[in-house]
Chains A and B, each alone.
Chain A
Amino acid sequence: MNAQSDVEVRAIRDVRSEVEDLLYREAWLLDRGLLDEWLELMAPDIRYWAPVRLDRARGKEDFSRHAQMAHLDENHQGLVYRVKRVQTGATYTDEPPARVRHFVSNVRVTALNDGIYEVASNFIVFRSHVGSKDCLLVGAREDKWRRSANYWKLKERLIILDHTTISGLAVLF
């Protein structure tokens, strides 16, 4: 930090502030069920995945790797299926509509090359649906966002859930 000039620090803060607005808007789109608008944020080459966590001894990797079991592992088409499934109006997870609330915090931004930004954040997602089946999911996201002239596209999202055993995953992160 000390090595950075005031100008650099201000530049990073500006980007972080812009990214925070982006993440808050994304969370708002998901909470409101504006899923077509949410899909517009997704890059056509996106990888959107959530490895499973395991209880392993300290020092051993405690989540599954690329070609292993996962909670989610979607490309753009897979996200389109997820959105269209809800939009059929014929699901039982979303009819009647579930109440979902995303909380996003601890945002850290690192600039990579070619307009790509690495964005780390924490989340709490609350979902309540038909009576008592409330579900609370906690974790972190490690994103790669691509910034173009006027818009941002999500290129990669690694969703790190802090649960080994989960109680429902009928949400998008």
Chain B
Amino acid sequence: MIENFLTDLRKPPCRARRKMVPPSLPSSMDTRQPMSKFGHLVDIDNRTVSPHAFFDPEVYRAEQEHIFARCWLYLGHDCQLPEPGNFITSYMGEEPIIVWRGPDRAVRAFINSCRHRGMKICRLDEGSAARLVCPYHAWTYNSQGELVGRPEQQKYSSSFDASAWGLIPVPRVASYGGFIFGCFDKNTVDLEEYLGDIKWYLDTQLKRTPEGRVIFPGVQKWTINTNWKFVCEQLSGDNYHAPIVHSSVGRLGFLGKPGQFAKAAPYEQDFEVRTPQGHSWINLSPTVPPDAHESFEPYEAQVRSDAAQILSAKQAELTDCGAVGTVFPNFAFISFLGSIGFRVTLPKGPAQTEIWFWSAADSEAPDWRKNMSRDINIRTFTAAGLFDMDDSEMWTGCQESMGGFYRAQYPLNYQLGRESGRRETERPGLIDSTPSESGMFGFYERWRELMTS
């Protein structure tokens, strides 16, 4: 059974992959690395990862192509673009992106870069416009990305083909429950197939009420001097660090009751999941924040009992649980103490990362419950969060120790968790008790697969 699962994991992530070249890039300019150059960085048998994966500029450059140009990446939420003309700016790896709702209400995404000289045509976080004018030479584009104007038009040759100089589109844009993703690779599977087994778990949190989650306006952005993978791997299944790094707030009651996550019934509500697609999930039995609103527990009990109408019975059992989940590579959400938040971890160089964080709540929730979700989220997992402040110290400290010649000879250890996981009929993925580093190593197995193919 385990062998089958590992075979699944090693299956090519997408259909037989042709050499991928963006439509407008001559093939002579294809700068891809030869195959398998990075395979040795992840030792699958020993469950270790080389420090080179975290600081080497060559690895970082290759990730832009092998990871970020191939995976489905989170762009934003439907409710940020309610009207035609609304746009938000975002990133896919290092590519700046405009996400723009057209007059036909379709959401399209483009690289935020003028085709003339490359200037970012949009320098706002969000706004509304029928057309965007590049600040540099005023090339002008509509929300379908078409080049619809440029000064001194008569000085261009009559053979100038404006249709060849539109904004570079993100060829695939799709949404799941209002969460909009984009993908550059035409050969990658559709979004729903890409989400695969994690969808079942995502639904326990995103679709626990009929209307789903609503995102509060505004995003918190903060930079951390660390490689993006140190952030993403933690959100891919590091429940090992929690009682240690967060012992300060544990003492204040923010980690549940003492012994809450230990082991009475390890697979019921407290467990971890890895999926063949590289996504992962930590599920934690429900926690009540130290000064919870008096109606909090009855509200959650009601959601859980109503959820049986819209989800499977096994899913409904998890709707009031805490969870930390990652959609490979860099979209994560944290649901804990009655709050829920979403984040994207953006690569900004081998040793710098930017986190974008949104807060959310059940769409139908009464105001007190929505506010509670927001307030706790802000208090715990943002840059000033009681949890995240200490996490940042870990990530920067890991990065600082990595770059030297000698340290880089010694791999990092992901061996926690002797079990190899188990299969269940009603819950997808490979399920482990918590804590385990199986899920987070699944992140690196997937990373290796993409970096070597």
Contact = CB atoms under 8 A, between A and B. Distances in A.
Given A56-B124, A57-B127, A68 B217 contact: yes
A169 interface: yes
A82 B378 CA distance: 13
Interface residues of B, number: 45
A159 to B, nearest CB: 10
A168 interface: yes
Interface in B241-255: 245, 247-249, 251-252
Contact of A52 (B127, B218, B397): B218
Interface stretch (B96-104, B221-229, B418-426): B221-229
Interface in B365-408: 370-371, 374-375, 378-379, 382-384, 386, 389-390, 392-394, 396-397, 400
A62 B397 CA distance: 34
A67 B374 contact: yes
A107 B219 CA distance: 30
Name the residue in A77, A88, A91 with the highest tally of chain B Cβ atoms < 10 Å from its Cβ. A91
Interface of B is mostly: mixed
Name the residue in A54, A65, A69, A131 with the highest tally of chain B Cβ atoms < 10 Å from its Cβ. A69
A56 B125 contact: yes
A169 B384 contact: yes
A130 B392 CA distance: 13
A57 B124 contact: yes
Contacts of A148: none
Interface in A45-97: 50-52, 54-57, 60, 64-65, 67-74, 77-78, 81-82, 84-86, 88, 90-93
Contact of A64 (B124, B217, B223): B217
A128 B220 CA distance: 22
Interface residues of A, number: 40
Given A52-B219, A85-B248, A92-B394, A71 B125 contact: no
A93 B389 contact: yes
B78 interface: no
Interface string A138-173: 000000000000000000000000001111111000
Given A73-B378, A165-B221, A85 B252 contact: yes
B346 to A, nearest CB: 10
A54 B125 contact: yes
B218 A85 contact: no
Contact of A165 (B223, B370, B392): B223
Contacts of A68: 216-218
Contacts of B389: 91, 93, 169-170
B382 A71 contact: yes
A136 to B, nearest CB: 13
Contacts of B383: 71, 166, 168-169
